[in-house]
Amino acid sequence: MLYREAGDFKTTYVADSQTFPLKLDRIGFWVTLAVAWLVIPFVINDYWASSLLVPFLIYAIAAIGLNILTGYCGQVSLGTGGFMAVGAYACYKLMTSFPDVNIMIHIVLAGGITAMVGAAFGLPSLRIKGFYLAVATLAAQFFLVWLFNKVSWFYNYSASGQINAPERFVAGVAVTGPNTPAWAQYLICLFFVTICAVIARNLTRGTIGRSWMAIRDMDIAAEIIGVNPLKAKLTAFAVSSFFVGVAGALFFAVYLGAVEVGEAFGIQKSFLVLFMIIIGGLGSIFGSFAGAAFLVLLPVALKWLGVDVMGWPTDLVAHFQLVIVGALIMFFLIKEPHGLAQLWRLAKEKLRLWPFPY
């Protein structure tokens, strides 16, 4: 039959504990990957890349990062924008200081630097919890943005205070700078998304992910059964910040090209990523993708509907967007606190029983 455990026999432990236990899921996963890698790069154009696909992929990485911290480890962070800024500025400094090194290495290193900064700002989480921690992460947000604005070393003393991505090549094709072809932008982001998603999925399935979830569910109880809260919380902050840093580096180097820190990585960005994981689903990798796709698509769709179809002025549509996003957040928290991922899970449950639900 179509979507069933029945008949899908597992004969080894490895097969039994794989990520997608259902055959159709596995096929779906590989088909998605194949389409993303082998079809889209050939049909992509500038509009699709710059308004939908590239921001979607980058936000997906950031959402996975925040989801690890908030969804899996239960530590609410409002500092995502600040950590993305760390990734972006680290990448910029590395790119300009070591122009001969491959940009891919720089992006990974930028993630590593962000991980260290994130772990440092995660230290208070050992003492404070809940809202208090959420507000404490605001300290990171505002302090980091201020730092990158004020200390001119970070933007190489440029007069405008902006950072501009110089042109860098991977295998002879420009991936940053103004002459980047759309498919190259797309592919480099896709590369990092694929790797990050696989890493995140496997981390959360393993020992470390389980210790995060134990901390999330009740930290004192987790401590009593032998989870080290210091290690669990700090690794969650570090891993989460790594992903967020990679997302920030890509956002700056590949997507925007030129960045003014307060504008690109302000508090609004932190909330945007937080909304993505709420709408997508806390504690779900698929949810991170769903939420990112939803919130990237929503403004574009609304703009199309409001401005192009209805002929309304742009600012009116922008206000409507606020109303709709706000209403959706509340709606999801009331009706489906586990987000789009839960809807997807329910649909799959139904499909398993279909057409004989009893």
Partner 1 sequence: MSADFLYGIEVIINGLMAGVLYALVALGFVLIYKASGIFNYAQGVMALFSALTLAGIMSGQVPFAHLINAIFGTEIHYFGWEVPVLAAIVLTLVVMVVFAWCVQRFVFRHLVGQEPIILFMATIGLAYFLEGVGDLMWGSDIKTLAVGLPQGGSMFVENATSGLGGDDFYGFFIDKLDMVATVVAIILVAGLIAFSQYTKQGRAMRAVADDHQAALSVGISLNFIWVLVWSLAGLVALVAGVMWGAKSGVQFSLSLIALKALPVLMLGGFTSIPGAIVGGLIIGVGEKLFEYLIGAPFLGGATENWFAYVLALLFLVFRPQGLFGERIIERV
The residue ranges that bind partner 1 (CB under 8 A) are 76, 124, 127-132, 134-136, 138-139, 142-143, 145-146, 149-151, 218, 220-221, 224, 267, 271, 274-275, 278, 310, 312-313, 315-316, 319-330, 333-334, 337
Q: How many whole angstroms separate alpha carbon 226 and alpha carbon 215?
A: 11
Give the shortest CB-36-to-partner 1 separation in angstroms.
31
Give the shortest CB-339-to-partner 1 separation in angstroms.
11
Which of residues 98 and 132 has its CB atom nearest to partner 1 in the complex? 132
Give the shortest CB-268-to-partner 1 separation in angstroms.
10
Token pair 């032998």 in the structure block, residue: 226
What φ, ψ does residue 259 adopt, rounded to 5°?
A: -135, 135
Give the shortest CB-315-to-partner 1 separation in angstroms.
6
Give the shortest CB-248-to-partner 1 separation in angstroms.
19
Which of residues 297 and 328 has its CB atom nearest to partner 1 in the complex? 328
* DSSP-derived secondary structure letter, 10: -
Give the shortest CB-349-to-partner 1 separation in angstroms.
23
Which of residues 221 and 300 has its CB atom nearest to partner 1 in the complex? 221
Selection from 20, 111, 1 nearest residue 10 by Cα: 20
CA end-to-end distance (rounded Å), the chain? 17
Q: Which SS3 state, helix, strand or coil, does residue 259 take?
A: strand
Give the shortest CB-208-to-partner 1 separation in angstroms.
22
Which of residues 297 and 329 has its CB atom nearest to partner 1 in the complex? 329
Q: How many whole angstroms separate alpha carbon 270 and alpha carbon 251?
A: 14
Beta-strand runs (E) in the chain: 163-164, 169-170, 173-174, 258-259
Give Cβ neighbours of residue 302 (< 8 Å, ≥ 6 apart).
317, 320, 321, 324
B/e letters for 280-298, b = 16+ CB within 10 Å, e = fewer, are bbbbbbbbbbbbbbbbbee
Selection from 250, 242, 236, 248 nearest residue 115 by Cα: 242
Q: How many whole angstroms separate alpha carbon 346 and alpha carbon 349?
A: 5
- The residues with which 173 forms a beta bridge, in sequence order, are 170
Which of residues 134 and 182 has its CB atom nearest to partner 1 in the complex? 134
Give the shortest CB-78-to-partner 1 separation in angstroms.
9
Which of residues 140 and 196 has its CB atom nearest to partner 1 in the complex? 140
Give the shortest CB-187-to-partner 1 separation in angstroms.
34
What φ, ψ does residue 101 adopt, rounded to 5°?
A: -80, 145
Which of residues 1 and 150 has its CB atom nearest to partner 1 in the complex? 150
Which of residues 181 and 262 has its CB atom nearest to partner 1 in the complex? 262
Selection from 95, 113, 96 nearest residue 104 by Cα: 95
Amino acid at 200: A
Which of residues 329 and 343 has its CB atom nearest to partner 1 in the complex? 329
